[in-house]
């Protein structure tokens, strides 16, 4: 059977056409891309020139405000509350009377003890004179002396118990809470009043073990309280624990601040900023100059009108500035405006 010349010629023509198209396709694509790039306008950007600058390494930790003194005044005897002098919220001085408990009965017992002592003392003094004149035996004088000694001991105990019926403030401060009312019976050890001194405020924070080495007693700190936004209060470190909490592996640090207006109250949330160190020659860029590309931190640098991407490592953050520890050099032109619109190798125009 003879081959069909017409069909073979047609098939050959189709193959040549496909080869021609395949051969010229890539070349034509490159020309179009080149033409597109040549026609693209440079992206307008702003840059900063990197130079060494100081940056502060600060540590910010949360804490809770506490009163400078927080005292719970308890009854030292059993009995009826006969008198309460101050009201809740009232300021008191050290030594001021807060309450009296069972003092009427205690005063009667004290008077009886005083009378008993006076009687035994007089009897002893008479027998002493008689003994000096050899009128009575020495054994009778000794019995009188024993009675006098016992009466004196009873008098002293009565005085101590009577004085315990008067509760006085051990501090200058405020009456935060009264636990009892007049006429109420209390046992020994029952709470009577809570007293606080808030002229100064304590703030305890838990410092990680890697940071406690930077802190020392007397060091300054800056405190903010959530209840007073925008207000910065100067403080100082009063105590740094020598032993870590076994559960958290942190060290307790106590900071003191002055509170003359008594506006800051115990129990408020506070934040304490400690200055760990100052790096004098850090390479710093604005925080917004960083671009996230697939989980990598990228900074774009301009050089001769071309944008180049740099993968960087970061260090200290201070406000809206961040330290770059790797990937940046002195004199680099970092793009800080338009960085989200550029890619590696794109043309840029510095404004």
Cα distance between residue 210 and residue 125, in whole Å = 76
Encode pLDDT of 253-267 as tens digits.
999 999 999 999 999
Could you tell me the two tokens for 190? 């029952």
Beta bridge partners of 119: none
pLDDT of residue 136: 83
* pLDDT classification of 32: cutoffs 50, 70, 90: very low
Give the three-class secondary structure for 111: helix
Cα distance between residue 307 and residue 115, in whole Å = 104
Q: What is the DSSP letter of 103?
A: H
Reply yes or no on domain 60-67+198-278 having CATH 3.30.565.10.
no
Spell out the alpha helix ranges (H) of 133-204: 138-164
Beta carbons within 8 Å of 38's beta carbon, 6+ residues apart: none
Encode pLDDT of 201-254 as tens digits.
999 999 999 999 999 999 999 999 999 998 999 999 999 999 999 999 999 999
Give the three-class secondary structure for 196: strand
Could you tell me the two tokens for 184? 């109420």
pLDDT of residue 276: 87
Cα distance between residue 254 and residue 219, in whole Å = 11
Span 311-329, average pLDDT: 91
pLDDT of residue 211: 92
pLDDT of residue 154: 95
CATH domain 283-350 topology: 2.40.420
Residue 18 CB coordination number (10 Å): 9
* Residue 22 reports pLDDT greater than 80: no
Beta carbons within 8 Å of 304's beta carbon, 6+ residues apart: none
Domain ranges of the chain: 60-67+198-278, 103-164, 283-350
* pLDDT classification of 21: cutoffs 50, 70, 90: very low
Could you tell me the two tokens for 255? 């900071």
Could you tell me the two tokens for 338? 């338009």
Which one, of 238, 198, 197, 235, lies nearest residue 217 by Cα?
A: 238
* pLDDT classification of 39: cutoffs 50, 70, 90: low
pLDDT of residue 264: 95
Residue 85 CB coordination number (10 Å): 14
Encode pLDDT of 50-109 as tens digits.
999 999 988 999 999 999 999 999 999 999 999 999 999 999 999 999 999 999 999 999
Phi first, then psi, for residue 111 (nearest 5°) are -65, -40
Which one, of 230, 255, 244, lies nearest residue 59 by Cα?
A: 255
pTM above 0.85, yes or no: no
* Residue 328 reports pLDDT greater than 70: yes
Q: Domain 103-164 maps to which CATH number in 3.30.360.10, 1.10.3720.10, 1.10.260.40, 1.10.287.470?
A: 1.10.287.470
């Amino acid at each position: 059977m003879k081959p069909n010349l017409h069909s073979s010629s047609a098939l050959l023509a189709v193959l040549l056409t496909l080869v021609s198209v395949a051969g010229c396709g890539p070349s034509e694509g490159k020309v179009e891309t080149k033409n597109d790039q040549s026609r693209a306008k440079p992206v307008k950007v702003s840059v900063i020139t990197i130079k060494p600058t100081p940056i502060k390494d600060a540590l910010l930790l949360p804490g809770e405000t506490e009163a400078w003194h927080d005292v719970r005044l308890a009854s030292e005897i059993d009995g009826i509350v006969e008198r309460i002098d101050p009201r809740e919220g009232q300021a008191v001085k050290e030594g001021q009377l807060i309450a009296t408990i069972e003092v009427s009965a205690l005063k009667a017992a004290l008077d009886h003890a005083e009378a008993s002592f006076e009687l035994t003392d007089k009897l002893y003094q008479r027998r002493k004179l008689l003994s000096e004149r050899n009128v009575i035996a020495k054994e009778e004088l000794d019995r009188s002396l024993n009675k006098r000694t016992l009466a004196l001991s009873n008098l002293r105990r009565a005085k101590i118990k009577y004085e315990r019926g008067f509760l006085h403030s051990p501090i200058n401060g405020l009456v935060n809470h009264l636990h009892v009312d007049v006429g109420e019976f209390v046992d020994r050890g029952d709470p009577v009043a809570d007293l606080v001194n808030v002229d100064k405020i304590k703030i305890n924070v838990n410092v990680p073990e890697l940071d406690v080495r930077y802190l020392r007693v007397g060091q300054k700190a800056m405190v903010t309280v959530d209840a007073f936004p925008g207000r910065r209060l100067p403080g100082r470190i009063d105590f740094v624990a020598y032993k870590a909490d076994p559960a958290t592996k942190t060290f307790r640090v106590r900071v003191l601040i002055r509170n003359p207006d008594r506006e800051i109250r115990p129990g408020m949330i506070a934040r304490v900023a400690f200055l760990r160190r100052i790096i004098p020659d850090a390479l710093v860029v604005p925080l917004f100059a960083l671009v996230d590309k697939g989980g990598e931190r990228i900074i774009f640098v301009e050089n001769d009108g071309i944008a180049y991407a740099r993968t960087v490592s970061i260090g200290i953050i201070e406000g809206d500035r961040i330290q770059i520890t790797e990937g940046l050099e002195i004199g680099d032109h970092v793009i800080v405006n338009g960085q989200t619109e550029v890619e590696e190798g794109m043309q840029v125009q510095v404004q």
